[in-house]
Structure 1
Amino acid sequence: MIDHVYISVTDIEKSLAFYIEALKPLGWRAFGNYDAASGPDNVPDLFGLGDATYVSGTGVGSSIWLRRRNPGETGLYLGIVCDTNEAVDAAYTAAINAGGLDEGRPADRTYFAPGYYAANVADFDGNRLEFVHKAWNSAH
């Protein structure tokens, strides 16, 4: 689980469409934007996506905020918890169908630990997602 992460991208619309589709099988959705004009100078415009718990406000959840990349910034790697191996498969397939780049098909990754099942994709800007199910984690 993640609380929140900023991901810097070059094309907000294209990236937002990618993340919405890639995370949809895991119950994530776009929930709103933050207009920088309403806050401190060092906080940019932000475009929010959240898991069902975060969006509903019923508990501690996770969110991702896309922001326009500044010159010289680099990409991000983000691991996202999946409750089952099937959820890993679904998120990977959705991400690839949304235009993501394959960086590791869904598979057991026993070199990390027994029961570690994951898949990896990259978006258009070199940001990387790992969809991961760890057998020792109970569903939440």
Structure 2
Amino acid sequence: MIDHTGIAVKDFDAAKRFYDAALGPLGASLVMMVPEEYTGGVKVGGYGYDRPQFWLHESGEAGPGRHYAFTADTRAEVDAFYEAAVAAGGRDNGKPGIRAHYHPNYYGAFVFDPDGNNIEAVCHNPE
């Protein structure tokens, strides 16, 4: 249903380092930077697989309280996401594991990004 989404970040370079590390294990990367002549000098970049689906937009007004969950194909990808995100400066908000209160195969991990957003990787497969 959602084609793409994005968040405002206070420090684009710090956010880029975090998302490069955290999304790499899921196979996603920075696939596009919008030329600054089109953004008024603001850094805007999109992550995805073959096209941008998750955008970072440099802004003085970034705020916590947002939640974004990224699909992982395997539980090992969830584990790798968590380890990479924490190593890149993310703060733990739920180690990898089953969340049976959602459904029996819900395997997820949660971290706070540098701006306080709750970022998750989730695998719905049974193994």
TM-score normalised by L of structure 2 = 0.86
Unaligned runs of 5+ in 2: none
User: Does the aligned pair in 2 maintain the 1:20–1:30 contact within 8 Å?
Assistant: yes
- What amino acid does structure 2 have at the position aligned with 1:118? G
Task: Work out the CA distance in 1 between the residues paired with 2:110 and 2:32.
Answer: 27
Shift in Å at residue 110 of structure 1? 0.2
**Matched position secondary structure for 1:63:** strand
Say whether 1:12 aligns with 2:12.
yes
RMSD (Å), alpha carbons: 2.2
User: Does the aligned pair in 2 maintain the 1:2–1:80 contact within 8 Å?
Assistant: no
- What amino acid does structure 1 have at the position aligned with 2:10? T
Moved more, 30-39 or 18-27: 30-39
Task: Work out the CA distance in 2 between the residues paired with 1:23 and 1:32.
Answer: 15
- What amino acid does structure 1 have at the position aligned with 2:9? V
- What amino acid does structure 1 have at the position aligned with 2:84? A
Shift in Å at residue 37 of structure 1? 3.4
- What amino acid does structure 1 have at the position aligned with 2:116? G
1:90 maps to 80
Q: Deviations over 1:26-76 (max 9, x none)?
A: 11111221135337x8xx64112212xx24xxxxxx6211112343x5332
Task: Work out the CA distance in 2 between the residues paired with 1:70 and 1:11.
Answer: 8
**Matched position secondary structure for 1:17:** helix
1:59 maps to none
User: Does the aligned pair in 1 maintain the 2:12–2:43 contact within 8 Å?
Assistant: no
User: Does the aligned pair in 2 maintain the 1:50–1:63 contact within 8 Å?
Assistant: yes
Q: Deviations over 1:1-24 (max 9, x none)?
A: 963221111000010011001111
Task: Work out the CA distance in 2 between the residues paired with 1:46 and 1:68.
Answer: 6
1:74 maps to 63
User: Does the aligned pair in 2 maintain the 1:105–1:120 contact within 8 Å?
Assistant: yes
Unaligned runs of 5+ in 1: 56-61
Change (3 A) 1:127 1:81: same
Question: What percent identity do the matched residue pairs reach?
Answer: 35
In the alignment of these two chains, the number of paired residues is: 124
